A and B are shown apart, each in its own frame.
Chain A
């Protein structure tokens, strides 16, 4: 009776032959490889994880050191809620404006030569303006449309229009609206352009060969495909505006209309010690909002990468 091997193994010796010792497979120790990433993880723990924990734990720490919900519930105070409200309004409006204008500009770029001068110049300029510090921007706008700015003076002297007749709005929320748009539009261009690049020319050609007009192509193919990345990019713009600090810190010297400035107040306040933890609660609130927005963004990104590569 032949020896029956339960799992036929192509390299098993024929029955009756003394099996040669099987080659010993070296099981790679994950331990040694992990050593390679220790510096990175150590750094992350020290400068990212710990600060985050400080914020999260601090938000629930009372003045005496015990656990408390006072700080978090204090977020419901009217002036803080209003600050949150203004932050959200500012972010939403500038995100919307930035998304529309930036989207149009990105579309204009994608119709140009991919390696041409126009696209490269505008993309580089967008990279700079999207990233660059709020202080610079604040000063630029003061020089442009501040009390003695270029445009202000021009309008006053040549058109008799005094834009500050009803108050100096540049250093308040309306001013922030204008200035934020300046970096939201370029950010939209950077974030949305890859999605536009993912629109394959074959789709338009297929739609047209099937009898579709330009409008039908846009309505039935391009817009549904671009909707997720467009919304995702708008969400990114929202998160960006919500998190912004430097511009507001430079422009606004009186009061703290938005949350980041409230946090500044809490941090630099030497008056009440407990303000520190309130600041952490506000920071936690910010994390929650931004995390929510970024999560939605990630969900939309997945869909758009699946369709547009």
Chain B
């Protein structure tokens, strides 16, 4: 009994796979091209020279010291930014929700403000501020953490806010307070464990953003992964492309992991097709 619903499902599937395939080709092409580019040898042969050098970190650091510095800097920036963002944002957002609900709109506005201020604009205004930062803390690339935390605020805030909404934090806090918990206990032992996936998601978004940041680092004359790769592009095209490809793939793997870890609890609207 061929039915309308089954025909529609078939049509949808055909449409789905056509679109995904066509766009998939468009999006995979550059990645394939990068792979091909990095494996080009003399006279049309293929070689894994570049990749062998890439995984040999010691040799890599010697051949391209700037790249090694850039990677190390980015690594440090990622760790520090994740730490600063979470330390700053999570207690504040929870606290505002529980004790200062009137400030919620203000905090939300401030956290989403960086979306309206592009990095290129922010860096113009950051220059004098960073003059002071350099004066007090030195010119290390790790000081970019402050700027990066600002950049990541909208995404981290949205993630944590969604997580708090999903768990009805007010009721949990009231319940634990009535059982005698202090505020520290409430935040640390009641709220935090329940927003684990939101926090994780915020952390991953931070990682992706910091690893991909170029604007502020370059215009404040500091080194990070993207700046180093950009510089590398002028001297060694193949290595720079190889590093770019690796970073892209790693970020994808990271995000896939995130979707597997926190995916089940995603707040999708309940669609019940019986």
A: which residues have CB within 8 A of B?
Answer: 30, 33-34, 36-37, 39-40, 43-44, 46-48, 50-55, 58, 101, 104-105, 108-109, 111-112, 114-115, 118, 120-125, 127-129, 131-137, 139-145, 149-151, 182, 185-186, 197-198, 200-201, 214, 239, 242-246, 249-250, 260, 263-264, 267-268, 279-280, 283, 286-287, 290-291, 294, 309
Contacts and interface: CB of A to CB of B under 8 A. Distances in A.
Contacts of B165: none
A33 B99 contact: yes
B137 interface: no
Interface stretch (B57-65, B75-83, B122-130, B174-182): B122-130
Interface in B153-205: 205
Count chain A CB atoms within 10 A of each CB in B27, B29, B89, B120 and give the residue with the most: B120
B268 interface: yes
Contacts of B88: 39-40, 43
Contacts of B41: none
A112 B16 contact: yes
A286 B118 contact: yes
Size range of the interface on B?
35 or more
Contacts of B213: 133
Given A108-B16, A135-B244, A136-B248, A291 B116 contact: yes
Given A120-B263, A121-B256, A132-B248, A185 B124 contact: no
Contact of A135 (B23, B95, B230, B273): B230
Nearest to B255: A124
B46 interface: no
Contacts of B107: 37, 40
B125 A53 contact: yes
A48 B119 CA distance: 11
Interface string B68-104: 0000000000000000000011011001100110010
A45 to B, nearest CB: 10
A185 B120 contact: no
B129 A51 contact: yes
9 closest A-B pairs by beta carbon, nearest first, are A51-B125, A243-B118, A133-B212, A144-B33, A150-B33, A246-B214, A143-B37, A54-B125, A140-B30
Nearest to A200: B271
Nearest to B13: A111
Given A135-B214, A151-B29, A249-B218, A40 B118 contact: no
Given A51-B129, A143-B30, A114 B271 contact: yes
Contacts of A137: 30
B256 A182 contact: no
Given A33-B100, A245-B215, 12 more contacts: A37-B96, A50-B125, A108-B20, A109-B16, A120-B260, A132-B212, A136-B229, A151-B29, A243-B121, A249-B214, A283-B125, A290-B118
A211 B76 CA distance: 62
The DSSP consensus for interface residues of chain A is helix
A105 B23 contact: yes
A15 B69 CA distance: 83
Nearest to A185: B23
Given A115-B263, A121-B256, A140-B34, A135 B124 contact: no
B48 interface: no
Nearest to B212: A133
A105 B126 CA distance: 38
Nearest to B29: A144
B124 A250 contact: no
Nearest to A141: B30
A182 B23 CA distance: 10
A128 B255 contact: yes
Contacts of B54: none
B234 to A, nearest CB: 10
A42 to B, nearest CB: 10
A287 B121 contact: yes
B47 interface: no
B240 interface: yes
A92 to B, nearest CB: 16
B116 A263 contact: no
B16 A128 contact: no
Contacts of A123: 259
B117 interface: yes
Interface in B18-58: 19-20, 23, 27, 29-34, 36-38
A47 B268 contact: no
Contacts of B226: 133, 135-136, 246
Given A128-B208, A131-B212, A140 B244 contact: yes
Given A33-B95, A120-B256, A260-B118, A111 B12 contact: yes
13 contacts: A36-B100, A54-B129, A55-B121, A55-B125, A120-B260, A136-B247, A139-B244, A150-B37, A246-B215, A250-B233, A264-B219, A290-B116, A290-B117
